Amino acid sequence: MPSGTAGGATKMVGFAIAGAVVAFIGTFLNWSYSDTASGGVKGKEFTDGVIVMIAAGLAAAALVAVLAAKKPQLSAAGAGLSLIALVVGVLNLVDPDRAPIAKAESEAEDAGATVSDSDLENMVERLDFSAAPGVYLVVLGSLAAVVCGFLAFKNSRTAR
């Protein structure tokens, strides 16, 4: 194993992998929830969640490759992919109505119906959605993966 992946860098990569996996798991849980509606919206049910699922999955794979292929520079790629998941997660955390609006638009298109954006927004506003555990897992997991991935990359560069 090159000296760049030894010690602290290896621990950071391990934490980054765990963060990416937590973010990936978060896509299977509710991102928005309403007591007045029937349940909530899971991340995997709309485009933002699929983006996070792909980015977190690829980040985890890149970070595992750091250890398996002994390529410490891949930790930066894993951190960059996790940054994509983090941005999407934060957007959905600060605007919990994003997920239900996107899901409603998708369902309307699938049914061949046309619904105006203002009608969708009014409907979602009345249902009073709030952020749910899945989006919190995405934000916390991807934040850990970004920080630890970049620290692992930095440690591998300075250890040479």
Cα separation, 72 vs 157, in Å, equals 8
Give me the pLDDT at residue 160, please: 57
Cα separation, 32 vs 131, in Å, equals 5
Distance of CA 155 to the CA centre of its chain: 25
Cα separation, 49 vs 37, in Å, equals 20
Neighbours of 108 (CB within 10 A): 14
Radius of gyration of the chain, Cα coordinates, nearest whole angstrom: 18
Give me the pLDDT at residue 139, please: 98
Walk along the chain (160 residues) and give the pLDDT tens digit of each residue.
Answer: 444 446 677 889 999 999 999 999 999 999 998 877 667 889 998 899 999 999 999 999 999 999 998 888 899 999 999 999 999 999 999 998 888 888 878 777 778 777 777 777 777 777 778 899 999 999 999 999 999 999 999 888 776 5
Give me the pLDDT at residue 100, please: 83
Supply the pTM of this predicted model: 0.85
Cα separation, 51 vs 74, in Å, equals 20
Cα separation, 75 vs 16, in Å, equals 9
Strand segments, DSSP code E, in the chain are: 30-33, 40-42, 130-131
Task: Tell me which amino acid residue 154 is.
Answer: K
3-class SS string, 29-73: CEEEECCCCCCEEEHHHCHHHHHHHHHHHHHHHHHHHHHHCCCCC
Give the class (CATH, top level) of 3-154.
Answer: mainly alpha
Distance of CA 2 to the CA centre of its chain: 30
Cα separation, 1 vs 69, in Å, equals 9
